[in-house]
Amino acid sequence: MTEAPHLLLAEDDGILVATLNRPDKLNALSMQLMRSLGEAVERFRDTSALKVMLIRATGRYFSAGADLKEGGGSGAPPQTGSGIREMHRRLPTDMRRIWDEIEHIEKPFVVAHQGMCVGGSLEMSLSCDFRLAAASAGYAFPEAKFGVLPATNGVSRLTRLVGTHWARLLVMANMPVTAAEALNMGLVHKVYADETFEDDVMAFCRHLAQQNGEMMGTAKLAIELCADLNAEQAGAVERMANSALMLMPSYLEGMQRHLGTIGGKKG
């Protein structure tokens, strides 16, 4: 019997929907799945008609993280600190490169968690622009059980998003959190009822797909820059960004229509 694809792809009115499809393996991130996801990310990047990429899953888990049973390559693991650091940097699954690409592409990525999101899949989710949760979802970094850290940008991106206070709870204390707790700490943007989750997620994505693409890409860059700058420098970034956006025909034409509508109401 032929094994089902580990990742399913579909397009829905400008939205590229990538569905993790290993429910019997808790959607563990296999080499096949990672290759397919990398290709999907590149397809999204290079296809102008695609406005939003949604990553979701089937089954009771969003993902249990890396497929440890599959292994991470051939040969013995590194026996030196520098070797281990290099292994993390160049994982056979290409995780770090794919997570970085998700973070850098100037289009919005949405990830939707219908169940537990663990380990490497949480690291992936931290790279996305928007994280949506069903009420029954949950989050954990189990790496501490083995005496190590989530080192594929897990600690760094988590701390950047939720601060040191909550990062300690997930990483040092090795405690899972519910969707409601994740919303409170700023880990997810919205929590939806389980019964309406799929519809709510697609409505969110369709709303994003209607936004101006140049504004979205510029905002993605500006927000990341502003997070690292003082107030004066951050203000300069937003002015510089708008100086380009306000010269675009879409802005000029939109303002003319808007002012014409206002003028018509006044008349």
Which residues have a catalytic role annotated? 123, 143
Q: Which two tokens stand for residue 198?
A: 């799929």
Measure the CA–CA gap between 77 and 67, rounded to whole angstroms: 16
Q: Among residues 131, 119, 14, which one has the least CA distance to residue 64?
A: 119
Measure Cα distances from 204 to 19, 110, 196, 212, 255 in Å.
17, 9, 12, 15, 25
Task: List alpha helices for the chain, DSSP H.
Answer: 31-46, 81-89, 95-104, 120-127, 154-167, 179-185, 197-209, 213-227, 231-245, 249-266
Sheet holding 15-20, edge to edge: 7-12, 15-20, 52-57, 109-113, 130-134, 190-192
End-to-end C-alpha distance for the chain, whole angstroms = 71
Q: Among residues 117, 28, 27, 116, which one has the least CA distance to residue 69?
A: 28
Measure the CA–CA gap between 164 and 154, rounded to whole angstroms: 13
